Amino acid sequence: QFFVFCHGFLQLSQLLVSGYLKSSISTIERRYGLSSQTSGLLASFNEVGNTLLIVFISYFGSRVHRPRFIGCGAILVSLAGFLMSLPHFITGPYEYDKSVASMFSNTTDLCKPGVPGSRGNLSDAGCTPHAARENHEVLLVMFIAQALLGIGGVPIQPFGISYIDDFASERNSPLYLGILFSVTVIGPGVAFMLGSAMLQFYVDIDKVAGDGVQLTNKDPRWVGAWWLGFLVAASLVAISAVPYFFFPREMPKESRFCHFSWTDVLPSASFICNRFPLFLSVFPLVLLRNLRHPVYLLVVLAQVNLSAMVAGLATFMGKFLERQFSLTASLANMIIGAVNIPGAMVGIVVGGAILKRFQMSLRQCSAMCVLGMFLCLLVALPLLFLGCPTQKVAGVTYSERYQQLQLGRARGGHSQGCGWKSACNCPEKAYNPICGSNAIEYISPCSAGCRVVNTDADNSVLNYTNCSCISENGLAGFAKPGTCGTDCSHLFLPFVVLSCLAGILASTSHTPSFMLILRSIQPEDKSFAVGIQFMLLRVLAWMPGPVLYGSAIDTTCILWEKKCDRKAACRYYDNNLFRQR
């Protein structure tokens, strides 16, 4: 029982490390200027290490000291977690464009008429060979950490499950394995809640005094303390690894027989009885026999499609909510961790309960899967339309009118001229969004032609005035700091309810689809078939899913941040395209 407790704690901590990355992905993109394709590849990279080694590690099944192997794997996972947070400590403080000169910098992004080019380019000042190299180092460290995370995770589940099943009584084994299975489902929810808590702190909480931060967490330039969660999760994994070095290689057995009860249902089945040499010789034959089985092949392909969708959504759902409904990263994570993931858990349980209650045949199982998916599609269809159009951004989504204003003023409107590249001599890459009194967003105070900034006692910006591009009754208007937002918060609640409901309906097919696989193939192939199924899910769904989603999201970007003349993170998306794609 103590082993089960330790293993539950370890699995939860391990899932915190892997799940936390997904909760902070949009923040890491913003901090290090990554495209969604790159961040999707990063998120799925742990599967590479995992897939390469799972067959080799499993081969050693009960020939090795399993608890110690699990402990070593946990130490690797912990190391990976600490490595993930390392980029924060090897790079300088996060820099963003400011309107108020601070002790760090006296450059501001207000409209300053002068000789064009005299201000230089704010963003390119930091573009040294060192800065470019720093960015490559960050990515390299993160990819190595993700590979280590995958490798360290290999022995944890198979060895833990087989160890429990070998030494628990036949009566208690299903209960213990059920406890572990429920932990693996709860884990990601806890990871998103951890993300929600950590992203409320400013990223450089350890480098900058509180009064040196001029941003609030609603500002689009805000970057939360993404690294903090990795330190917490990695520390928990390190603590949970310790007991494994003190467990015996074998416990007093309650039953000496090799059972195929629960082990048939779990991906580790083939590692339990010492059948691996046989497994290697017959593997190609069994693989072909199963893949030629139409029911098995179709169900696994269906699961691959569903899993690829889940892998992509888990990675980018938070980012989607942030962009569509102008939420903070923290709130988006809270919604996913407290609503969407528990919804999926409910669906899995309900599916299993219906199956048990009605003792369904294979045909009924497949009918239930089809019905669940069909209802999910019906409920999810309105999600195509439930969202916000892109906000009006001068020079980006609102260019025509903006250019006319510029021309008009240059010819005879405000003599000072209207921001952007005319008399204000704006830095080309400045990014400090403000919302004009005309409800149009401007990329920076300079691009709106604002000449005056008003601050409070803490040096926080209250508003910008004397803005030549924001015209009200022939007078220069004013602007508030921050984005105008998408202004359709009334659609947010229906979206959350429908997406949660769709998740519940889709999850009801989880258990019946497993039963279809287990009951439709020859009994002696069960363990192989489940192993092959998980292998195919890894290679065809969990690895490519986030990358494909990230690439699709990148195609909807309408304004990229530029770092050292390369594309970095996306600043504005076409919200309608983002939603549909």
What does DSSP assign to residue 540?
A: I
Every domain of the chain and the residues it spans: 1-113+130-251, 286-388+485-580, 400-406+418-481
Q: What integer pLDDT is reported at residue 76 of this predicted model?
A: 95
Please give the residue that has the higher pLDDT: either 115 or 154.
154
Same CATH fold, 286-388+485-580 and 1-113+130-251? yes
Q: Indicate the pLDDT class of residue 269, thresholds 50, 70 and 90.
A: very low
Cβ 213 vs Cβ 460: under 8 Å: no
Pairwise CA distance, residues 77 & 45, whole Å: 14
Q: 442, 394 in Cβ contact below 8 A?
A: yes
Pick the CATH number of 1-113+130-251 from 3.40.50.300, 1.20.1250.20, 1.10.3720.10, 3.40.1030.10: 1.20.1250.20
Element (H, E) at 196: helix 173-198
CA–CA dist 314, 115 (Å, integer): 49
CA-based torsion, 76, 82, 86, 87: positive or negative: positive
- Provide the pLDDT for residue 570: 92
Task: Identify the helix (H) or strand (E) that includes residue 410.
Answer: helix 399-411
* C-alpha to C-alpha distance for 338 and 326, rounded to whole angstroms: 19
57-71, 195-209, 226-240 — which is least confidently predicted?
57-71
**Torsion angle of alpha carbons 464, 470, 476, 481, nearest 10°?**
-10
Rg (CA), the chain: 27
Would you say residue 267 has pLDDT above 50?
no
pLDDT, tens digit (0-9, with 9 covering 90-100), for 526-572: 767 777 787 888 889 999 999 999 999 999 999 898 887 778 889 99
Q: Say which amino acid occupies 450.
A: C
In the structure encoding, which two tokens stand for residue 404, read together?
Answer: 């006319």
Q: In the block, which residue shows the tokens 């057995």?
A: 253
Q: Which residues touch 321 (CB under 8 Å, ≥6 apart)?
A: 327, 332, 335, 336
Name the region of 578 (left: φ>0; alpha: ψ -120 to 50; beta: rest): alpha
Max CA separation in the chain (angstroms)? 94
pLDDT tens digits, 409-445:
444 443 344 544 556 778 777 888 899 888 889 888 8
CATH topology of domain 286-388+485-580: Growth Hormone; Chain: A; (1.20.1250)
pLDDT band at 272 (very low <50, low <70, confident <90, very high): very low
* Tokens 């600490």 found at: 82
434 beta partners: 442, 481
**Of 368 and 211, the one with more pLDDT:** 368
